[in-house]
Structure 1
């Protein structure tokens, strides 16, 4: 008797679930199998392809296998992830021509920086500014970046569909699998392109270089040469050059046989030669100069292989250098002659001018005392004309010194307010001449400035003179202010400065006229020169003076309304305490004296006191001696004169004067030698010496012991003011 075992009954619902599960598993198995077959088929079809064919096959296979509207490979341009050029694109069952694609506001932009970017639907809505998506009626997008072996971005691989992807996981797998191959192929292609470009570049350089390029064996046989080298040596082609110089270039090329030996020696010790100059023979026998740069090429083990280098024909340069050397010698000789001429001219012109100005000034005072107004007017004209001519001569000599680089600074610390008072007093007559009104705004506590007092005064007087000349019945203003250290003070490097502003309500200037203004011998235009006169040197000289003192001049002008010139000079301290230039030193003390009005000084000594002061005048010019004696005697001084240095030294020891005025440019024994001998003699070393000369060597005078320095023609009243200090 057997047993019957019966499977428990199952419900219909349970059977359905089991069948569904089994069906899904079978479907997934089949799908995996199909995927594997698809991937294998694609891989096999791509295995034998490279370059552009690979990219075209890849995008076609992806589009077909994934049932998408478009598949593309793109490379980024210029190493920046903002523009892409399609390498291969398959869309709507056909290949499209390559095009550039702006990545901004596109899904492709999102690919870089992510391992994979996927938009399953509504991709147009997400990127409404992408015209390509709109044209394709795209719905879905998936992209993956392509990177080089070093991780640098190269491009991207992407698919676009008009509907949602059938199998996103399959698409992701396929993109990830083929991205590595696509990136490697893209990198290989770019490397190949770069290599070809480099080869072409160097080939072009070799063929088209203006300098000769060569390779030679260690013994001197040419291996290769470019057309430029053949041309340098006078041959029609590199082949002709190589054939003609076969054997050894040692004896066939170099004029000096030792130069090739020196070349080999340098190569042996340094593996290269730089700027190796030699004289060589051309094909026609003519000798030329060449400059050679070469190096020794070695193999991986360090064994010498050959020489390679470049040759340049420097014959023209050598000839130019020789001519330049001769021209330099000639220029130096001419410059020396010019300097000597200027010195002589300065002496020859200023000496008679000194007499004209001095005699006219003295006669003018005498005529005023005698009550002869007609003579006074004529003498004033003579005196004014002499001063005008002196100004022109000074300008020409100044610009000549500037051009020759011989203009020096004589720095000292001086009171700015005192300088402004002096300038105001000097310029007032010229301001009133054209019915103008002068406004001066200078704080009493403006302080001191370390600069060249003479040059600052000259700059201000030039600007005020111009303002007076170009303004009729208007207003001229001189304003002085201290600009503290602040970032906007760029004109003097952020350093505190004193600014001098000269404004007028005159004719003003156009922009074109302003551009020409600071050029030597240039005025606003020719009509200005004809109407107002002048040489056009003043502003050029003034700007140069300011820049020498680390400052500058700027201009604001409006045609028909007036102009404003602003001088900015930095506030700085002396870097070294020099007896002549340091604050409180000789120069600053006498600069304070010179800044004091003559009327104040005149009251400091009575006439009987002056009669106790003996002045020794040493000058080779009889007119100067006569003028000095007459004027100083009128001022109440006792005066003795000497016509040369030797006589002056004798009288100095004999008379022991209170002060000595000394001319520098004298024959036989000049003023420098006289001054040195005076200061070296204990008997007369303490006598104050004032230099009176046309030579601008103020620093030398102070160094040798002079107490002050006046340039001819000088102001006799200023001289008297200085001399009256020596009553001790």
Structure 2
């Protein structure tokens, strides 16, 4: 804050110096004009009056001065010097005149020629408006004059002319001081006047622009805008009149109560007093009604406070909102019916399937005992197909329960190494069928986690089964990492494979029920497309999520993020480095 006054003073000083330079610049052309004519007269006088020894040099010097000042007279007609050049130019003109007079004294040897020096010094005070340049100009002339008179023989008039030159110098300094003070005062007044005029003009422009913006905004908006004083309409835009079926002029001077249903106004009165948006039933000229949303605020206006309000017709919006609510209720009812149907059908299918599985196992053992391997192999196929169908039914039931939010979570302490190891052993045969190698990375000293054991195992099982299914003659690795965040401890279980990979645009789809990466994969690889959908829903139910990182043709990494302790469902992991689906 302390730098602001200094900056303001610096700016004011700069403006003042610029104005002083402009005053000097205004006098440059008259000065060179006068000096040019003066030295033209001097050249004529020198040719007529001066004795022969000094006539020629003085005439040459005078004519040179005429040419010099004539050049600057011509140059200043089309060229305006920069403000910082005005005082140097004025000083140059003065010094040229002074050295002419000094040269005259030196050539003629006449001390009385010092009168010209006195005139030039006084002219210096009249032309310049800078003490620095005044000292430079007068100092240069005085030094040259002193050098000239020192070379002259002593004369009774020497002291007289010394006194005269000193007096002229004092007079010039006095004139300089008076002029500088007067001109500075005038310039300051002029600058203040200009500033006041500019500020006043800018204020008037801003007021006019503000009024125009308000009027343009009020007319351009799709909402009705009304200005009221104690409930009486002072002004309104055309849109406000159109909303109520009136011309704008018909509304002016009327009470707003005439345009609102009384009962709705009473209901909205408290919100009106609080300055909050409120809804009213508005009355049109033809007797019809519409729902209006009103938002108002107080504004100072001509020594009093008035109220400006924006009015929006939300009848159609309310209609669509009601339709959406109805559609939402219908969709939820249909979803509940679908879930109920799927659950019922799945349970009904499960009972005969259990019988098929049981009897196929019994027949298989009987066929083995009777040494009928071919028929036993057929029973194995029946058993395998039944298991897949049971898995599908279990997946559908799980999805249905999760969507209906009826899944019960039973938390307990789970040994991670034991759980993951048993799942890996369970899927070893399937991995070998695909010529895959499953590795558990690290020391496997992974500790424990508090979660639902059955559901956590189901998640890991589906993720590992998915990796084995879409990898052939490859490597599948399982790693576990613990992370600490402000939200608490988190666990990352990463399952990496070197399989077919997944295109980025398929990342979200593969977590939907009954979906694989693409139709060609569905044809080539068996599966219902429920495993990943079940895994994601279970992970979210347990407060975690699943992260996918994959490159087509290179492989995929599914990372299960789980809190170490029970937390609210659907809470995302605090660290996501890849696509979080």
Calculate the TM-score normalised by the size of structure 1.
0.50
Matches within 5 A, 1:430-449: 430-441=430-441, 443-449=443-449
Counterpart-to-counterpart distance in 2, 1:13 and 1:545? 117
1:431 to partner: Cα distance:
0.8
Match of 2:358 in 1: 358
Counterpart-to-counterpart distance in 1, 2:336 and 2:218? 50
Match of 1:203 in 2: 215
Other structure's SS at 1:194 match = helix
Partner of residue 234 from structure 1, selected from 231, 235, 245:
245
Match of 1:726 in 2: none
Matches within 5 A, 1:598-609: none
- Contact 1:423 1:457 survives alignment (8 Å): yes
Matches within 5 A, 1:216-235: 216=228, 218=230, 221-235=232-246
Counterpart-to-counterpart distance in 2, 1:574 and 1:248? 58
Partner of residue 31 from structure 1, selected from 155, 165, 176:
176
Match of 1:534 in 2: 527
Matches within 5 A, 1:542-621: 542-572=535-565
Counterpart-to-counterpart distance in 1, 2:271 and 2:491? 61
Gaps of 5+ in 2: 1-153, 569-581
Counterpart-to-counterpart distance in 2, 1:318 and 1:364? 67
Other structure's SS at 2:435 match = coil
Partner of residue 280 from structure 1, selected from 279, 282, 286:
282
- Contact 2:261 2:283 survives alignment (8 Å): no
- Contact 2:232 2:255 survives alignment (8 Å): yes
Counterpart-to-counterpart distance in 2, 1:265 and 1:435? 75
Count, aligned residues: 415
1:313 to partner: Cα distance:
0.9
- Contact 1:450 1:574 survives alignment (8 Å): no
Change (3 A) 1:481 1:369: same
Change (3 A) 1:413 1:194: farther
Counterpart-to-counterpart distance in 1, 2:191 and 2:340? 84
- Contact 1:213 1:229 survives alignment (8 Å): yes
Q: Highest CA radius of gyration, 1 or 2?
A: 2
Partner of residue 214 from structure 1, selected from 226, 233, 241:
226
1:415 to partner: Cα distance:
0.7
1:414 to partner: Cα distance:
0.8
Other structure's SS at 2:276 match = strand
1:443 to partner: Cα distance:
3.2
Calculate the TM-score normalised by the size of structure 2.
0.62
Match of 1:503 in 2: 496
1:314 to partner: Cα distance:
1.5
1:513 to partner: Cα distance:
4.3
Q: For each residue in 1:338-396, what CA deviation from the matched residue of structure 2 results, as whole angstroms up to 9, or x when unmatched? A: 33323322321222222222332344344444544233322221121112122223333
Matches within 5 A, 1:227-306: 227-235=238-246, 240-243=247-250, 250=257, 253=258, 256-260=261-265, 271=273, 274-294=276-296
Greater strand proportion: 1
Counterpart-to-counterpart distance in 2, 1:337 and 1:499? 37
- Contact 2:500 2:554 survives alignment (8 Å): yes
Matches within 5 A, 1:130-141: none
Change (3 A) 1:307 1:182: closer
Change (3 A) 1:442 1:245: same
Matches within 5 A, 1:372-521: 372-407=372-407, 409-441=409-441, 443-477=443-477, 479-485=478-484, 495-514=488-507, 516-521=509-514
Match of 1:334 in 2: 334
1:560 to partner: Cα distance:
2.8
Matches within 5 A, 1:639-654: none
CA RMSD, 1 decimal: 3.7
Other structure's SS at 2:388 match = helix
Greater helix proportion: 2
1:35 to partner: Cα distance:
3.2
Gaps of 5+ in 1: 1-8, 44-176, 486-491, 576-728
